């Protein structure tokens, strides 16, 4: 585990880091061939369960999906989001992080926030739990979808928080929807890698929600590039299947015992 994280940190300023989300073994086993980091994101709340926010995602839900993902991981660094209300204080965070690590055999956990979680991160790291930070847009606490870095106060806070998180011991930081020049400043000011989502090419790596990348999620976001429209491909396959069933072309002898 420690070697995987050290190898990741060494990529800073040398090689871009590739990250995607996964919520199941089948997808994880594909991503494992191409990704440095596979994140079991609490984005599964909206992607899989149509929740209005990630705040509705439970610890049990994250653990069960992570156990599935772990079966598909052989090479990549696997990180699990700690869901809302599971790290309100250091004691709670340590208990739940230990449970996640034990049950899922992941390589680290991700927490949202800066100064507010500084002491918590220190305690987790002290207890040998690798932590990834998350700054900018914070889905667990922000009530509106709005990019960060326009206001001077936002810029100052994110810069300070990034330094605090590094000091606390995080091995990398996700920057979500952070204005380009600010993302560049944060990245240059840290010795650890930044992973961007809607935060420009100047981050040390990038992450996307897998379902967005393949066009399975019909919603459109500025920071997403769809590399294939898998919804169309699925529709074609289901259409062909339905036609063959109705015309008694499926199953044939090859598909029957």
> What positions carry a catalytic annotation?
176
Distance between CA atoms of residues 175 and 67, nearest Å: 26
Distance between CA atoms of residues 104 and 85, nearest Å: 19
Contact between 176 and 199 under an 8 Å Cβ cutoff? The reply is yes
Chain position carrying tokens 């199941």: 24
- Residues 6 or more apart whose CB falls under 8 angstroms from that of 134 comprise 110, 111, 112, 113, 173, 174, 176
**Beta strands 108-110 and 77-81, pairing class:** parallel
Nearest to 216 by CA among 79, 71, 76, 24: 24
Length of the chain: 257
């Amino acid at each position: 585990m420690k070697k995987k994280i050290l190898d990741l940190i060494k990529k800073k300023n040398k090689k871009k880091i590739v990250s995607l989300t996964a919520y199941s073994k089948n997808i994880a086993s594909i991503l494992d061939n191409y990704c440095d980091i596979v994140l079991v994101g609490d984005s599964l709340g909206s992607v899989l369960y149509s929740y209005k926010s990630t705040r509705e995602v439970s610890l049990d839900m994250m653990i069960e999906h992570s156990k599935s993902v772990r079966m598909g991981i052989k090479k990549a660094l696997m990180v699990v989001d700690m869901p809302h209300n599971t790290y309100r204080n250091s004691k709670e965070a340590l208990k739940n992080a230990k449970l996640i690590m034990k049950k899922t055999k992941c390589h680290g956990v991700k927490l949202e926030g800066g100064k507010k979680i500084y002491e918590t991160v220190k305690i987790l790291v002290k207890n040998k739990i690798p932590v990834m930070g998350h700054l900018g847009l914070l889905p667990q606490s922000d009530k509106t979808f709005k990019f960060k870095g326009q206001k001077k106060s936002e810029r100052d806070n994110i810069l300070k928080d990034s330094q605090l998180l590094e000091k606390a011991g995080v091995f990398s930081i996700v920057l979500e929807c952070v204005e380009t020049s600010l993302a560049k400043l944060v990245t240059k000011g840290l010795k650890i890698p930044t992973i961007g989502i809607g935060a420009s090419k100047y981050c040390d790596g990038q992450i996307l929600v897998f379902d967005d990348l393949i066009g399975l999620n019909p919603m459109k976001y500025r920071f997403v590039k769809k590399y294939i429209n898998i919804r169309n491909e699925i529709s074609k396959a289901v259409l062909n299947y339905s036609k063959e069933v109705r015309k008694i072309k499926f199953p044939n002898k090859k598909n029957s015992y």
